[in-house]
Structure 1
């Protein structure tokens, strides 16, 4: 009985498992791997600062010397040319600035400035320093004077597009012994600027 039971059990086990082998061996399906694309990192577009430009400025000024305690609006027009050497930018600019700075005894009518600008090209931004000559018209004690002095300071321009720039400039303007008036005259100006590059 034992001899019959063992082959019968083996035959039954084969009958139960035979359908599993009927189709032959096949590898299990592997789901395709999902590949996530690399994130897109915006890259700031560089700016070529070479070329001429013209624009307008609106700002505020503070006086000292003959203009001590004077502070008021400034406004003007400017034009210039830059040359971009790669990381370094060099340029020149002529600016006319009207002024409302006055005290009870002195008034700064206007400034004309011839500026040398040297700066670092940071792509869409240009950070620069300024040195130059300044010519001023002023009334001191009811008498009109005019004299040449010097200007220096810092500024920044930002390229909104290939042709439109915005920026700001902080300049100190110094006139020692203004036109033999017996008074020194100085003014600090801070201006917001917008210009068109051509």
Structure 2
């Protein structure tokens, strides 16, 4: 009887131990925590603040006759970064080297609003405002009010300097009571210091 019990016990142990030794009852692998790494958010530049700079460009004037020439100017403004959108205002003064016989376009002052999209170091924008054009026609100086609108883009070279380009349309209806409209398109490159 004793031998019979030992044989039964040995058979039971062998039956239970067999699969464990064969790998069938391997201990389960420890559960590891899954760590999800999300990409860091793209941080835009903070465009809030004042700026002032210079511009150099080209302008094409269309009235009864067409004339074109160089433009050069200075501008200053302030803008506020609201997250994805940047809004602000700007004043500018531009001189022109545009002559057609006894007639010339001399200078222009403008006050504009700007609305742009914060794309990191880039700031594409639309702008519109009021302007005053000074001309010399037949030896007499004239000035009249009109409006200006266009698009542009700025690139933040670093925290202090911004470079960019701007295309504007300038419109003056019935300029100085002459019955003639003056339309001008200007293209300029710009550089400004941010403060």
TM-score, normalization: structure 2?
0.76
- Secondary structure of the 2:176 match is helix
Aligned residue in 2 for 1:187? 184
Instruction: Say whether the 8 Å CA contact 1:145–1:181 is kept in structure 2.
Output: no
Show the counterpart of 2:93. Answer: 96
Task: Please state whether the residue corresponding to 2:100 is helix, strand or coil.
Answer: coil
Say which of 133, 148, 153 aligns to 1:151.
148
Aligned length: 155
- Does residue 168 (structure 1) correspond to residue 132 (structure 2)? The answer is no
Give, in angstroms, the shift of residue 126 of structure 1: 0.2
Task: Call closer, same or farther: CA 1:138–1:65 in 2, change over 3 Å.
Answer: same
Q: Secondary structure at the match of 2:99?
A: coil
**1:76-155 equivalences in 2 (<5 Å):** 76-155=73-152
- Within 2, Cα distance between the matches of 1:52 and 1:135? 23
1:36-56 deviation digits (Å, cap 9, x = unpaired): xxxxxxx98631100000000
- Residue 144 of structure 1, CA deviation: 1.2
Q: 1:6 maps to which residue?
A: none
TM-score (norm 1): 0.75
Deviation string 1:2-57 (CA, Å, 9 cap, x unpaired) is: xxxxxxxxxxxxxxxxxxxxxxxxxxxxxxxxxxxxxxxxx986311000000000
Give the Å deviation of 1:69.
2.1
Is there any run of 5+ residues in structure 2 with no aligned partner, and where?
Answer: 1-40
Gaps of 5+ in 1: 1-42
Q: For the pair shown, which has the larger CA radius of gyration, 1 or 2? A: 1
Kept after mapping to 2: 8 A contact 1:44/1:124: no
- Tell me how large the CA RMSD over aligned residues is: 1.4
Q: Which residue of 1 aligns with 2:15?
A: none
